[in-house]
Amino acid sequence: MTDHFRLTMAQLNPTLGDLAGNAARARDAWAQGRDAGADLVALPEMFVTGYQTQDLVMKPAFHLAAMAQIETLAADCADGPMLAIGGPWAEGGRLYNAYHILRGGRVIARALKHELPNYNVFDELRHFSSGPLGGPFDAGALRIGTPICEDAWFPDVSETLAESGAQMLLVANGSPYFREKFAIRMNQMVARVTETGLPLVYLNMVGGQDDQVFDGGSFVLNRGGHLAVQLPVFEEAVAHVDFTRGPQGWEAATGLRAVAPPTIEQDYRAMVVSLRDYFAKTGFSRALLGLSGGIDSALVATIAADALGPGNVRCVMLPSRHTSRASLEDAAAVARALGCALDEVSIGGPQEAVEAALAPLFAGRAADLTEENIQSRLRGLLLMAQSNKFGEMLLTTGNKSEVAVGYATIYGDMAGGYNPIKDLYKTRVFATCRWRNEVHRDWMRAPAGVVIAPRVIEKPPSAELRPDQRDDDSLPPYDILDGILEMLVDGDASVAQCVAAGYDRAVVKKVEHLVYISEYKRFQSAPGTRLTKRAFWLDRRYPLVNRWRDNGEAGPAPASGA
């Protein structure tokens, strides 16, 4: 029996629903492994379909076509190394999240996911049946156990595989990014290695899918939790890992050990990757956005330019009678620094026409929020018209603080197809702009240096919908607002807990009220990059109609860590 085994890890980016394209990527990875003398080429969870499929996987025509692709792959990859790939499996009237092992022209083994996640963005109990605890498959030189993603977070699955004779654990994942998640994954996998005494391969996919970003960061652990291989985050990689049998069992040779960048860089790259892939996978290549001269639109323009290239990003300034000269100058400076085109379309004429049309109905009523929202909706109309005419996807630019409290106009500045900063609080927007001005990486397609002028970052935020307007006329200062929102939204804290943390009760109650009454706006908002465990959409699902408010009747509840 041989004492050597070569595994090819394919940390790749599938496109959801592109069954033939994903299978072609799997064949290419298999060919690379074959040429490198691999014994097994492994791809991530549900790779043949892309992940997450949501209800699409329940459509018989879809999952049967995916199963047929795997059979075709087996035939195509008959002469060479084994191929392991994730995909659905239907049997006995049930549908499973499965991991298929292909060798010699057929599927020789199939693991069925046992632990189905049903929290945060996951809803697998809706889509799949739980498979039985299984055993390892025979890989020739050794026996390999294959926990599928969530399975590896529960000791019993890995322990059962070890007790059944597994000599290595290969964990196929579709694990999406949220801030600081890598350390959580690593701690869990070290625990599995410690419990079983087996080396472990953690293989994750990369790329964006709707709001989620799969960040890769695949790794290999030897006994004792010692890191042998660490692949980069957010990048595709095909790596060949050599295992040798020693007196204590199998051990991986030390290979690439990439260092993960700091959190602020990971967040920024997640926004770039998600925007890039949302465009590429929906067939768009060019972006459009309203550039106001403010910090939020400046950051979105920078993210878009880094993702798509400055030549594929067009900015439009839409001034009104309330737009300051400084805002016009700041917008022009940002577009110029990025190398993006900038057009100007005044809303003055349309605004006068709409106000004149409504004047008979509004006679005797003072100007108020209505007139402010007309301006925002006119901008949305003019931008969407350009999007339609030129085939550019319109980006929205509201940060998480604004999205949380509804400080945005539905059918106005909320109009658009994607929002990369939707899960980024305003205080983090400031920090991210300063970071991007100081840092440039080779994956950024916009120029290096100061692309967001300091004046844009430092001036008081304003929607400029009335004379001398400032955001803090309507909202608490952003450091206070974000602190409260992080407790109420991200931590599910009670009002009493916010007060105990030092926030004024009246301010907390105002913020709570704004969060609840804005649910209908978020329901109709554009998707955006998920950066936290409590992003708006699948992570946090609240009713649109809700009369409940936290008045402390039941006492303060513990903050959720979920």
- Reported for 448-451, long-range contacts at CB under 8 A and 24+ positions apart, including other chains, are 449/337, 450/337, 451/302, 451/305, 451/334, 451/337, 451/338
- Cβ–Cβ under 8 Å, residues 217 and 232: yes
Strand order in the sheet with 106-112: 106-112, 94-103, 82-91, 40-42, 4-11, 237-246, 249-252
- Comparing CA positions, the residue from 199, 209, 144, 145 lying closest to residue 175 is 209
Angle 478-485/426-438 helices, nearest 10 degrees? 110
230, with CB counted inside 10 A (0-12, 13-18, 19+), is buried
Residue of 77, 115, 124, 149 marked active site: 149
Give the Cβ contact number of residue 552 at 10 Å.
12
Instruction: For residue 298, give Cα distances in angstroms to 211, 322, 344, 381, 388.
Output: 21, 19, 16, 21, 23
Does 45 participate in catalysis according to the annotation? yes
Catalytic residue (choose from 77, 113, 124, 281): 113
- For 191-213, b/e burial (b = at least 16 CB within 10 A) is ebbeebebbbbbbbbbbbbbbbb
| The two structure tokens encoding residue 241 | 């890992």
User: % helix / strand / coil in the chain, to the nearest 5?
Assistant: 40, 20, 40
Cα separation of 315 and 327, whole Å?
14
Tokens 């390999």 correspond to 144
Name residues whose C-beta falls within 8 Å of residue 191's C-beta, 6 or more positions apart in sequence.
155
Contact partners, residue 346, CB within 8 Å, separation at least 6: 318, 319, 320
Phi/psi for 65 (5° steps) reads -65, -35
**Which residues lie closer than 8 Å to 163 by C-beta, 6 or more apart?**
none
Contacts of 310 (CB under 8 A, 6+ apart): 338, 339, 340, 445, 446, 447
41: three-class secondary structure by DSSP = strand
Q: Write down the H helix ranges in 218-294.
A: 263-282
Q: How far apart are CA 127 and CA 90, in angstroms?
A: 12
Q: List the structure tokens of 65.
A: 């076509």
Indicate the SS3 state at residue 303: helix
CB-facing half-sphere around the CA of 440: CA atoms within 13 A: 13
Question: For 451, which DSSP code?
Answer: -
CA atoms within 13 A on the CB side of 273: 26
Q: Is 149 a catalytic residue?
A: yes
Active centre residues (catalytic): 45, 113, 149
